[in-house]
Amino acid sequence: MSRAPDYPNASDPTLVQLAQQGDTLAFEELVARHRDKVYSRALSMMRNETDALELSQEAWIKAWQRLGQFQGESSFATWITRIVINICLDALRRQKRLHAESIEQMAEESGGVERHLPPVQVDMLAGLDRAELRARIEAGLRQLSEAHRTVLILHEFEGLEYKECAKRMGCSIGTIMSRLFYARRRLAALLAGLKEERKP
Amino acid sequence: MSRSSSLLSRRGWALVVCLPLILGMPIPARGMELKLHTRLIWGTNDPKPDDGKCTEVDPAIRERLARVFKWRNYYQVKAVEVCVVPGKESHVRLSEKCELEFKLVDDFTLEIKLFGEGKLAKTVRQSLQALRQGELAVLAGDSKEKFGDAWFVVISHPQK
Amino acid sequence: MTRETQLKLQAWLDGELPAADAPEVERLVERDPQAAALVRELTLTRRWLAAGEVTHPVPESREFYWSQIARRLVPRDHPVSAPGRVFAAWRRWLAWLAPAAACAGLLVLWLWPRWETASRAAARPPEIETPTEEIGTYTFRSESEQMTVVWVNSL
């Protein structure tokens, strides 16, 4: 009789292999390991706990369905994160939160108030420890528009190139470059405390 | 399987066979064929070209498009009627570059695949009930050939 | 400084500027204080963002979160081996369940056309599903014109 796998101590690739053969216990272990990361990504994109919970679970279900396609080119964590990003992008698109209108869109792509601000030159956050810095960044990101926040998440946190960001956000590379530029400028101004943004 | 459960099973299946008789009707065939109108329409602010390729769009469709989109003129490049049957994909070629594939996913859902230059560009799933009630399924995009113009693939169910 | 120049500076920092354009941007940063200041700000922002994000724990227990996923998972072709007695019990139930399910199916088929006619007024809203991997499109719906539009960006 074969011994039951030691799920908690198994590596991700081993768990993936078992899950690909239909082992739900192995999949459960993968969920347990990466659920916080997946949920956090959904939360950072949706800014809403209920949506983040639902969409993160949807991502896991989709991952289960597509596990056969996972060949290990990236880590499992990267793969599942990309799935939840796509699901969130679709949800944002359905809610039309990415498809900004008129003035807001103009500001996203051609700059708003930050166009007139001098560039931040001093590292105001130099003394902060990592946790504090992350908390400040999160507070700053929360004040950005959906499109600005999304482009920063895709480019800075997920490491996607302009082209890949454009594909995922459904716009041109030029738009991505503009959005990224003004998102960075706005975030810099916010983090440096130069500009008090109104609460959304 | 034990003998008693086998007997139960036989009785159960007998009920299945008898049910249509009890209900007084034959079992309806699963799914019905679906007729669709597909149109390739050009949206522009320019007057109608003289090349004879374009025709007038059904006024009802044109008005609906014009109320949603910014273009003043809509010309029909091609219109094809298609009959989609369950379990089989139906293909419609609307232009050299544009092809559609239809499939009835179930009794309630129509899957539409849009191919551009032979490559799958988009898959959408449309409620059949909505289509039957007059919904227009529109796939559209900016023209690559002429800046400012747009193409529209309009899919509708023939209304009685 | 034009917007195009600003975006070039950014692309240079992101490693996305074509190699041929790099010397020109480098020269600009050296001689133009405005460009140098902008590069400093962009570099600073990148450094801050490199700290990463706060990880938020799922606000549900492991068991509850998993249970909500597990009930929606479709079993694979090679499920985890089930004990024999569970299988035997399943087979016993199957003797009734399969015909019962078929009966229910027939009833639904029989009733459906009647339901459909009755519920025309309260029709289910039109749905368009778009697979997530095929993006680069916007979907919107005009309620007044009964029209669902999928705008494809690149075709």
Chain-chain contact of C40 with A121 (C-beta, under 8 angstroms): yes
Band (pLDDT 50/70/90 cuts) for residue A101 is very low
Whether residue B11 has pLDDT greater than 60:
no
Whether residue B124 has pLDDT greater than 80:
yes
Whether residue C134 has pLDDT greater than 70:
no
CATH 1.10.1740.10 fits domain A7-94: yes
Q: How far is B114 from chain C (nearest CA, A)?
A: 10
Residue B20 at interface with chain C, using a CB cutoff of 8 Å? yes
Chain-chain contact of C45 with A35 (C-beta, under 8 angstroms): no
Asked whether residue B6 falls in the same domain as residue B82, the answer is no
Residue B66 at interface with chain C, using a CB cutoff of 8 Å? no
Fold of A105-191: Arc Repressor Mutant, subunit A (1.10.10)
More reliable by pLDDT, B23 or B155: B155
Chain-chain contact of C110 with B25 (C-beta, under 8 angstroms): yes
CB atoms within 10 A of CB B10: 12
Chain C interface residues facing chain B, Cβ-Cβ under 8 Å? 91-92, 94-96, 98-100, 102-103, 106-107, 109-110, 112-113, 116, 120, 123-131, 134, 137, 139, 142, 144-155
Asked whether residue B11 falls in the same domain as residue B77, the answer is no
Q: Could you say which DSSP state residue B160 is in?
A: -
Domain ranges of chain A: 7-94, 105-191
Helix A173-191 and helix A102-110, axial crossing angle in degrees, nearest 10: 80
Residue B68 at interface with chain C, using a CB cutoff of 8 Å? yes
Chain-chain contact of B140 with C106 (C-beta, under 8 angstroms): no
Query: In terms of C-beta density within 10 A (0-12 exposed, 13-18 middle, 19 or more buried), how is residue A91 classed?
Result: buried
Chain-chain contact of B136 with C99 (C-beta, under 8 angstroms): no
Domain range for B118 is: 34-156
CB of A140 closer than 8 Å to CB of A190: yes
CA distance A123 to A102: 34
- State the amino acid at position C82 in one-letter form: A
Number of inter-chain CB pairs under 8 A, A vs C: 160
Q: Which residue is closest to C94 within chain B, CA to CA? A: B9
Q: Quick one: which of B113, A13, A46, A163 has its CA closest to C56?
A: A46
Chain-chain contact of B12 with C99 (C-beta, under 8 angstroms): yes
Domain ranges of chain C: 1-73
What secondary structure does DSSP assign to A153-168, as a single string? Answer: IIIIIS---HHHHHHH
Band (pLDDT 50/70/90 cuts) for residue C33 is very high
Q: Subunits with at least 3 CB pairs below 8 A relative to chain C?
A: A, B
CB of A26 closer than 8 Å to CB of A13: no
A115-140 in b/e form (b: 16+ CB < 10 A) is eebebbeeebbeeeeeeebbebbeeb
Asked whether residue B62 falls in the same domain as residue B138, the answer is yes
Number of domains in chain B: 2
ipTM: 0.80
Residue that the structure tokens 């139930």 belong to: C93
CA distance A186 to A112: 9
More reliable by pLDDT, B131 or A104: B131
CB atoms within 10 A of CB C49: 23
Judged by average pLDDT, the poorest of A180-184, B45-49, C22-26, C57-61 is B45-49
Contacts of B98 in chain C (CB under 8 A): 155
Q: Within 13 Å of residue C127, how many CA atoms lie on the same side as its CB? A: 13
Contacts of C93 in chain B (CB under 8 A): none
Contacts of B124 in chain C (CB under 8 A): 128-130, 139, 150
